[in-house]
């Protein structure tokens, strides 16, 4: 029962393969819903950027989207990256410096890749 409570709270420190799989399934479900509302492809571009394994500030993501000819505001990008961190739970954040630095959690790289591959079809 403890494992089920842990999963329901979205905590990833559950022990056992079934707990990890359930967590990945929930992330996959949230990602699919999130990307289904991606009318202009910006969310997919940002996720593909994070798949590279690098670390990015909001400004880095904003500049990347500008280079991809996306019309976005800095505040919109900040909100999008913040949502990916808090709601989807797929980003890691480092808040020790002047700017938040985001990266894709290693545990979710394969899940994000599979969702993006499926979405591209």
Can you give the pLDDT at residue 114?
Answer: 93
CA distances to 17, 114, 117 from 48, rounded to whole Å, are 27, 11, 10
DSSP-assigned beta bridge partners for residue 56: 102
Cα–Cα dist 97/116, whole Å: 31
Can you give the pLDDT at residue 50?
Answer: 97
Please provide the average confidence, as pLDDT, over all residues in the chain: 85
Can you give the pLDDT at residue 7?
Answer: 43
> Which listed CATH number (1.10.40.30, 3.20.20.140, 1.10.10.10, 3.40.50.1260) goes with 2-120?
1.10.10.10
Domain ranges of the chain: 2-120
- What percentage of the chain has pLDDT greater than the value 90? 70
Specify the higher pLDDT residue, 61 or 119.
61
Query: Rounded to two decimals, what is the model's pTM?
Result: 0.79
**pLDDT (tens digit, 9 = 90+) per residue, 65-98?**
999 989 999 999 999 999 999 999 999 999 988 9
pLDDT at 3 over 50: no
Closest C-alpha among 26, 32, 38, 24 to residue 111: 24
- 44, 119 in Cβ contact below 8 A? yes
**pLDDT (tens digit, 9 = 90+) per residue, 11-28?**
444 445 566 677 888 999
- 111, 31 in Cβ contact below 8 A? yes
């Amino acid at each position: 029962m403890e494992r089920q409570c842990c999963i329901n709270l979205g905590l990833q420190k559950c022990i056992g393969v079934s707990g990890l799989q359930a967590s990945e399934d929930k992330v996959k479900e949230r990602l699919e819903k999130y990307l289904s509302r991606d009318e202009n492809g910006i969310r997919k571009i940002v996720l593909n950027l994070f798949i590279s394994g690098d670390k990015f500030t909001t400004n880095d993501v904003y500049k990347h989207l500008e280079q991809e000819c996306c019309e976005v505001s800095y505040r919109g990008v900040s909100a999008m990256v913040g949502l990916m961190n808090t709601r989807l739970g797929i980003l890691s954040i480092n808040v020790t410096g002047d700017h938040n630095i985001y990266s894709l959690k290693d545990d979710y790289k394969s899940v994000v890749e599979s969702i993006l591959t499926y979405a591209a079809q």
